[in-house]
Structure 1
């Protein structure tokens, strides 16, 4: 049964529970949804071995430079990425912040075992997906409607990933702020070989609306801007290819997808990021992922929101892996 797009959009529209106070306490942030697209899982990204030994990355920050987890080749499609999403300052934003660190990582490992059983042939790369720049309901001093996490918060999650041999994604909800400076703010972290990037069109408010009141969007030009930024980081620091996750759950969230340009230094994942019952999630995956392919695909599952409608449930690994194309990035919120 295919439900109308209007019903899907109403069901999947993200909720913003945001606070705007001051630095560390200011970082009690917002949670959301998102969505995405893709075609066959060809490896269009050449593996880019790096000669840089572990621990010798030059970020300009001695704490970061001492980290030792240093992947040396492209992740996709050799491995499936499995990520826990959220922010350590918010229990409502996702599983990453819902439990203390050790319990969260234990749950991550247990969930990975379930997915490995469903597809023993594809190794899994653990990941932590941090909302590093969070959309806000108030403009803030510069009118950006977004809150950058502090160096302390970002480093904390990066260290968790380093200790757990997990890659880390830093996600941008830009609000009204231009994308370029937000990526620049994260650049020193992206120099680490295990740190990657996510961008969320839901909170890219090109219409000038307040985040959370309407679904935002990115054009292909914005995605290409992120791809080019990451490609430069890779080339300048002799790194393996970066992964760029782009969230999507409606047609309008990504405009002119055919104009998105592939780059050997960046692996693009279009992530079907909406919540709801399985029939709606499958339909949106078909309409915005399968029918509008870019490169690789992702699929998001919600421990809480996927149960919000009567009779709803979270999809099983086998159900998700039965999708065409098979998602190579799995995210739990």
Structure 2
């Protein structure tokens, strides 16, 4: 049976700013000066001002419902109030009905009902909403009933577009995300489904966010779901989505919606790898054909890549006494440009000898400023001051990696570039000391440990498993195939049967 109570309306127009807290993010910053005018003709009115960008992380369904309603709706005569148990069922019927959904009976829910000028509260039978409904009419609807949608009040809506884009991670259908989706649908907000909750992940998400947020990355976007991160993280990702070029294959994150297959070596030096066995045009064609061989076995598009040795480990000290020969960036420029034009990613590999990685990386700053160019640090060839190549395996500290990574991340941010691949070559745990100290927090970088071991399948897989022990969170795994040193060389199908599936595969 439906119970009804008399509603006493006060026909006033008021400005209300919701003051609450969710996951350490103040909603007051989200719902700035939203106007609710109870004497409007419409039963439902959209918010008149866009909210600031806010990431809600793993906030509860109650807090998420409050935040989205505050951002999307200026006023609503009919509002649903659900318990956490009935919230998802209500979410399935309220979006198309244009009715906002609040979850719980907290004081903040009561504040929202007051701000919206609600006259009728819709709830499930047996739900006690007296503490928030006050003297409003209460309409009981069983959201699980087959005809539940038909029993909802008809709503006349102001159809102005809601000034909001709602970013959701479709892979995490939590109750909070379901509630957020229902409220965004009810209010006509733009919903952007992003893999991993990252608006940079695909061309579609980048385009959707650009359309929704316009020119200002600090306004108009709200993200729900733990993968979306904090407000600070979301704002940084949005800044990249709005300004940066896209990577080969689309989107701006290196390993979210693509894998890469590369030829490795140095131009004109066949002994260093297959990349140098033919001219530029033939190398690009060979690499594209190689990547295509992986497509039948991949869950994601496979993008061709060139891993170019830009500084070559040397048996002679050279004029700088660093046992490393630096290839003139001007020599590599045609390779970088041609690869970009062909939709091929490029990684510049450093074999620094007695020089530190950062010093060498800075030599190639203008090439690294290209959106499709990343960096590889080859620790096998990083020597101590008294060492020479081939007498020992080189090693690098986590601190030196962090210094180089920080510079690369700053370059990416300052030049408004898409995320960059940062490869850490390794086949022995000793090659990177204090690996746990590697900083993986910079969203501008996609860091991967590249397993460089060669030999029999058992030896290679043993190295693969060993390198994953104590791997810092945020670092993914990559793989190298050798045509001559492996016995036998893994096929594309065998390579992609490895667990976890490698994100970057190179051939030497």
**Is this a same-fold pair by TM over 0.5?**
yes
Give 1:272's match in structure 2, choosing from 451, 455, 479: 451
In the alignment, the residues of structure 1 paired with residue 405 and residue 197 of structure 2 have an alpha-carbon distance, to the nearest angstrom, of: 14
On the 8 A contact 1:50/1:72 being kept in 2, the answer is no
Tell me if structure 1 keeps the 8 A contact 2:421–2:447.
yes
Aligned to 1:301: 481
Q: CA deviation at 1:151?
A: 2.6
Q: CA, structure 1 residues 153+289, in 2 after alignment: closer, same or farther (shift >3 Å)?
A: farther
Mapped partners of 1:105, 1:178: distance in 2: 30
Shift of the 331–44 alpha-carbon distance from structure 1 to 2, 3 Å rule, reads farther
1:114 corresponds to which residue?
A: 293
- Picking from 238, 243, 249, the partner of 1:51 is 243
Q: 1:53 offset after TM fit, Å?
A: 6.2
2:375 to 164, 180, 197: 197
Structure 1 residues 288 and 44: CA distance shift in structure 2, 3 A: farther
Residue 324 (structure 1) aligns with: 499
Corresponding position: 1:91 with 2:280: no
Q: Where in structure 2 are the equivalents of 1:63-82 lying within 5 Å?
A: 73-82=252-261
- Superposition pairs of residues 226-241 of structure 1, within 5 angstroms: 226-241=404-419
**Residues 371, 418 of structure 2: 8 Å contact kept:** yes
Superposed CA RMSD in Å reads: 2.3
Judge conservation of contact 1:128–1:169 (CA < 8 Å) in 2. yes
Structure 2: 5+ residue stretches without partners:
1-194, 201-239
Give the match's secondary structure for 1:281: helix
Higher relative contact order (CA 8 A, sep 6+): 1
Distance in 2, Cα, partners of 1:176 & 1:78: 37
Is the CA contact 2:244–2:418 (under 8 Å) kept in the aligned structure 1?
no
Kept after mapping to 2: 8 A contact 1:270/1:296: yes
Give 1:227 shift.
1.4
**In the superposition, relative to structure 1, how do residues 186 and 254 fare at CA in structure 2: closer, same or farther (>3 Å)?**
same
Provide the residue aligned with 1:287 in structure 2. Answer: 466
User: 2:259, 2:300 within 8 Å by CA — same for their partners in 1?
Assistant: yes
Residues 273 and 300 of structure 1 are in contact (CA less than 8 Å); yes or no, is this contact kept in structure 2? yes
* Partner-residue secondary structure (3-state), 2:468: helix
The 1:203–1:111 alpha-carbon spacing in structure 2 relative to 1, beyond 3 Å, is same
- CA shift digits 1:66-87 (9 cap, x unpaired): xx97965112121001111101
Give the match's secondary structure for 1:114.
Answer: helix
Q: Bigger shift: 125-134 or 285-294?
A: 285-294
Q: Could you tell me whether the CA contact under 8 Å between 1:50 and 1:238 is conserved in 2?
A: no
Match in the other structure for 2:317: 139
Q: After the TM superposition, which of the residue ranges 137-146 and 43-52 deviates more from structure 2?
A: 43-52
Cα distance between partner residues in 1 of 2:450 and 2:408: 18
Distance 2:270 2:375 in 1: 22
Aligned residue number for residue 22 of structure 1: none
- C-alpha distance 52-229 of structure 1, shift in aligned 2 (>3 A): same
* TM norm structure 1: 0.76
Q: Return the offset for 1:206.
A: 2.2
Mapped contact 2:436–2:470 kept (Cα < 8 A): no
Cα 1:167–1:149 change in 2 (3 A) is same
1:251 Cα deviation after fit:
1.4
Q: Distance in 2 between matches of 1:105 and 1:202?
A: 27
* Match in the other structure for 2:175: none
Q: 2:431 aligns with which of 243, 253, 257?
A: 253
Give the alignment of 1:97-246 within 5 angstroms. 97-119=276-298, 121-206=299-384, 208-246=386-424
Is contact 2:356–2:400 with CA below 8 Å preserved after alignment?
no
Deviation at 1:291, TM superposition (A): 5.0
Report deviation, 1:102: 3.1
